Amino acid sequence: MHPKTMMQSLHFSLPSWLPLFADSWRGGDEPQRMAFVIQAARQNVLEGSGGPFAAGVFEQDSGALLSLGVNLVTAEQLSMLHAEMVAIAFAQRVLGRRDLGRRGSPALEIVTSVEPCAMCYGAIPWSGLGKVVSGATDADARAIGFDEGPKPTDWTRPLVERGIAVTTQVMRDEAKSVLDDYARSGGIIYSPCDRE
Amino acid sequence: MHPKTMMQSLHFSLPSWLPLFADSWRGGDEPQRMAFVIQAARQNVLEGSGGPFAAGVFEQDSGALLSLGVNLVTAEQLSMLHAEMVAIAFAQRVLGRRDLGRRGSPALEIVTSVEPCAMCYGAIPWSGLGKVVSGATDADARAIGFDEGPKPTDWTRPLVERGIAVTTQVMRDEAKSVLDDYARSGGIIYSPCDRE
């Protein structure tokens, strides 16, 4: 490996449609936040910018939107760029700090259109987020061929034990319909890589 | 959220010392690869560029180094930037594809100075990597206060079941000594965030 050829920095970008979409958020309660995130997942598929997944980081009380992430795995060819990872990273950049749970700051939550996979699940405690709200389930993702990875069956408990609230199956049917439409349209089921 | 203020892209950088360090790799077998990665972890602490963790992606047969990552959590204030995530992302950028396990290409492995945490563990299957080699154990990391997250106790089995080989405790004592020296020097134990 030669220093001249070794990359020193890495960047990735949100789809061009996303900032304007995010700007259309007018606030609302948890089901409304989920509906908005589900619509972002659908938009990501329609625009051809990635997989059928989206996640947003919101202030729990005010509903203010801090960041909106979509799945960028195929667009950026980086396997870590699941919607939750993207939303968390941008939220950390917006605030300028890695700890999204700092005392004295508005409590934050991640609203994700599908239950987090094993990676995103493991990422949540490190982010400091105080709450997870999910739509479609692991089973819904697996039903169209997405592997959710080696994650405990009772995945919510270790989060709750760490003081992270979890609400699942918010607008599950609507979230699932994005997955199902994606599969029907022949979308790339990218997770399992070539080996399987 | 206003489009004018919403960030559209995100970038992060390796420490300035790293490319030259990576260039000093002269090849070698698995213990030598691990010794090199451990030295990178130590260097990351000495240079003040992050936590006591490093990981490299190597070609399994030739030992060629594809990417070298160090922990950038505090430097970049992004909780996802564990050494393994950094190494995987840069390897994917070097090859221009997310699947590090493509048939017909040299088989790749990640050599990590400490067993992967819950997030990095979940990230490995998505990367396509065919092998994981680790040094210090979860218990060694926890002994100095790093939480490894909600990860199965028998974490190697689900990887092996997915066709990913795992070798643990390669040069464990040397890897552990980096953790212990870091803790003794008063290094930031960043994982648990403010809430704990």
Residue A17 lies in a domain: no
The closest CB to that of B77, out of A73, A96, A195, belongs to A96
Q: In this structure, are residues A86 and A69 in contact, taking their beta carbons and an 8 Å threshold?
A: yes
The band of A190, judged by pLDDT with boundaries at 50, 70 and 90, is low
Q: What is the pLDDT of residue B191?
A: 55
Residue A19 lies in a domain: no
Q: In this structure, are residues B159 and A150 in contact, taking their beta carbons and an 8 Å threshold?
A: yes
Residue of chain B whose alpha carbon sits nearest to that of A161: B150
Q: In this structure, are residues A33 and A111 in contact, taking their beta carbons and an 8 Å threshold?
A: yes
User: Span B109-128, mean pLDDT?
Assistant: 97
Q: What percent of chain A has pLDDT over 90?
A: 85
* Tokens representing residue B25 in the block: 């790799």
Q: What is the pLDDT of residue B14?
A: 97
**B192, pLDDT greater than 70:** no
Judged by DSSP in three states, B174 sits in helix
**A196, pLDDT greater than 60:** no
Tens of pLDDT along A119-148? 999 999 999 999 999 999 999 999 999 888
What ipTM was estimated for this complex?
0.94
Q: What is the pLDDT of residue A69?
A: 98
Q: Which of B171, B172, B14 is nearest to B91 (CA)?
A: B14
Rg, C-alpha atoms of chain B: 16
- Which residues in chain B have Cβ-Cβ distances shorter than 8 Å to A163? 195-196
Q: What is the pLDDT of residue B3?
A: 42
B57 φ, ψ to 5°? -105, 120
Average pLDDT, chain A: 92
Does A107 touch chain B if contact means CB atoms closer than 8 Å?
no
What is the SS3 assignment for chain A? Answer: CCCCCCCCEEEEECCCCHHHHHHCCCCCCHHHHHHHHHHHHHHHHHCCCCCCCEEEEEECCCCCEEEEEECCHHHHCCCCCCHHHHHHHHHHHHHCCCCCCCCCCCCEEEEEEECCCHHHHHHHHHHCCCEEEEEECHHHHHHCCCCCCCCCCCCHHHHHHCCCEEECCCCHHHHHHHHHHHHHCCCCCCCCCCCC
* Tokens representing residue B18 in the block: 């790293």
**A152, pLDDT greater than 60:** yes
Q: What is the pLDDT of residue A5?
A: 57
Residues β-bridged to residue A70 = A54
The band of A191, judged by pLDDT with boundaries at 50, 70 and 90, is low
Residue of chain B whose alpha carbon sits nearest to that of A94: B7
Tens of pLDDT along B10-26? 999 999 999 999 999 99
> In the A/B pair of chains, how many CB contacts fall below 8 A?
222
Q: What is the pLDDT of residue B141?
A: 94
Give the containing element (helix H, strand E) for B187: none
Alpha-carbon dihedral sign for residues A50, A53, A59, A61: positive
Poorest-confidence range of A25-34, B93-102, B147-156, B165-174? B147-156
Q: Where in the sequence is the domain holding B79, given as residue range(s)?
A: 34-184
Q: What is the pLDDT of residue B153?
A: 85
Does B150 touch chain A if contact means CB atoms closer than 8 Å?
yes
Poorest-confidence range of A95-99, B53-57, B94-98, B146-150? B146-150
Q: What is the pLDDT of residue B187?
A: 76
Q: What is the pLDDT of residue B120?
A: 97
**Cα separation, B43 vs B3, whole angstroms:** 40
User: Span B53-61, mean pLDDT?
Assistant: 98
Q: What is the pLDDT of residue B92?
A: 98
Residue of chain A whose alpha carbon sits nearest to that of B73: A98
Q: What is the CATH number of the domain that holds A97?
A: 3.40.140.10
Give the number of C-alpha atoms closer than 13 A to the C-alpha of residue A170, restricted to the C-beta side.
21
- Which residues in chain A have Cβ-Cβ distances shorter than 8 Å to B123? 79-80, 119, 122
**A1, pLDDT greater than 70:** no
Q: What is the pLDDT of residue A189?
A: 73
**Identity of residue B25:** W
Cα angle A75, A76, A79; round to 5: 105
Q: What is the pLDDT of residue A193?
A: 46
Interface of B with A in 110-139 (CB under 8 A): 117-123, 125-128, 130
**B193, pLDDT greater than 70:** no
User: Span B161-185, mean pLDDT?
Assistant: 96
Does A153 touch chain B if contact means CB atoms closer than 8 Å?
no
**Cα separation, B129 vs A81, whole angstroms:** 16
Average pLDDT, chain B: 92
Residue A130 lies in a domain: yes
Q: What is the pLDDT of residue B188?
A: 75
Non-local (6+) Cβ contacts of A75 within 8 A are: A15, A49, A50
Q: What is the pLDDT of residue A140?
A: 96
Tens of pLDDT along A76-105? 999 999 999 999 999 999 999 999 999 999
Domains in chain A, number:
1
Q: Which of A29, A98, A124, A128 is nearest to B195 (CA)?
A: A128
> Which letter does DSSP use for residue B172 in this model?
H
**Cα separation, B72 vs A84, whole angstroms:** 19
